[in-house]
Structure 1
Amino acid sequence: MSKRGDQKRQQLLAAAANRFWRHGYGSTSLADIAKDAGVPLGNVYYYFRTKQDIATGVADIFVAETQDMLEEVAEAEADPRRRVLGLLRRLSQSSRSRVDHGCPIALAVRDFRSEAPKASARAAESFELLTGFIGRELQRTGSRPSVALAKAREIVVEWQGGISLAHALGDATVLAESFRRAEQRLIQI
């Protein structure tokens, strides 16, 4: 695909990701995505055969962005606890949009499940990456693998639960409290 073609493909994926997040997968049409991307509807089929293919492309973006973020966090700090704290701080930078719209990855996992199950599973890999990273870092602090994994899941659940409740209530304080609890758990490990 040409450079321009790749740019159009990325525009379509960005528009789709935003639409899916704000309006839901089921409520988003290919025409909506094309309009938001500034691409004629007929051209969408040049880049994607189906809406499910677009969902998979969006899920691929989530995984790639998660991988990139984890690599940046790992490069920025050698201490395992500081790495996890750094990750929590990175995640907290998007708090306002999460309060307003929920977690785009969690929503994609849910919304894609019935019509695009492969895309749903692919989006869920972002959570596996986060949990795995935190678990490995906690093992480096001396925690047994099973304990580290349980603590890693606890941290991700705290974050995701905070997003859900903050979104439901429209209250950013709820999410800020979740991040503080997650940081406190790290100190106790």
Structure 2
Amino acid sequence: MAKKGDKTRTDIVDCAKDLFYTQGYERTSFTDIVNATGVYRGNIYHYFKSKEEILEAVIDQRLAEFRIVLKQWDVRHSTPRARLMAFVQMIASKRKDLTRYGCPIGSLNTELAKDQHDLQQSSKALFDLFRDWLTAQFIALGYAAEAESLALHLLGRAQGIAVIAHVYGDAALLQGEVSRLEAWIEESIVQSGLS
């Protein structure tokens, strides 16, 4: 069982993660985090000295969560095709949030890249994690020479889908683009000769 202090810290990070996603990092104040958690400001300062430190903890938590998901996909799906499809299905499964708020890691990176370059370098690790995992899937499909390029193409298309669905507030548009992305993966597999 987690200690009370560990639970409080986790609660702060969870609340901040949701606020940074739904409101944006810049628009979320320390007071917003205090109000959302119900933890006194002084107690939050016990764990985090600044909003930047909270963001770093949010990024670390997201990295840990995504690592678990990727390991689960590696275990659950025996082929690179199935793993790539799991990635695409993740987009479809998040269509409500993506349509309303955009992609959590894409939105955060875009916001931070404007004037918080040090923090953006930390948040870029979220994309790096997916890029590296997707690259491994394309290598397994026999695309070693262009695996990273294909991984970035897939990430770019996923981000584009999230942005367009968010801009137009259209979950059906997102689903249609997910279907096109699945067809692109199938075509890549046929071309690789691993169909």
**Which TM-score applies when normalising by structure 2?**
0.89
CA contact (8 A) 1:63 1:123 kept: no
Number of residue equivalences:
187
| Cα deviation digits, residues 156-186 of structure 1 (max 9, x gap) | 1111101001001000122112211221111
Identity %: 26
Tell me: CA distance 1:15–1:157, structure 2 relative to 1, closer, same or farther (3 Å): same
CA RMSD of aligned residues (A): 1.6
- Unpaired runs of 5+ residues, structure 1, are none
Partner of 1:30: 30
CA contact (8 A) 2:84 2:137 kept: yes
CA contact (8 A) 2:91 2:178 kept: no
**Which TM-score applies when normalising by structure 1?**
0.92
CA contact (8 A) 1:30 1:51 kept: yes
How is 1:59-74 mapped onto 2 (pairs within 5 angstroms)?
Answer: 59-74=59-74
**Separation in structure 2 between the aligned mates of residue 160 and residue 135 of structure 1, nearest angstrom:** 17
| Cα deviation digits, residues 32-68 of structure 1 (max 9, x gap) | 1011011011211001011110011111112111111
- Unpaired runs of 5+ residues, structure 2, are 189-195
Partner of 1:9: 9
Partner of 1:52: 52
| Cα deviation digits, residues 84-125 of structure 1 (max 9, x gap) | 112221332111111111111112223334665443222221
Tell me: CA distance 1:177–1:80, structure 2 relative to 1, closer, same or farther (3 Å): same
**Separation in structure 2 between the aligned mates of residue 114 and residue 10 of structure 1, nearest angstrom:** 28
Q: Secondary structure at the match of 1:49?
A: coil
How is 1:97-136 mapped onto 2 (pairs within 5 angstroms)?
Answer: 97-113=97-113, 116-136=116-136
Partner of 2:142: 142
Tell me: CA distance 1:60–1:117, structure 2 relative to 1, closer, same or farther (3 Å): farther
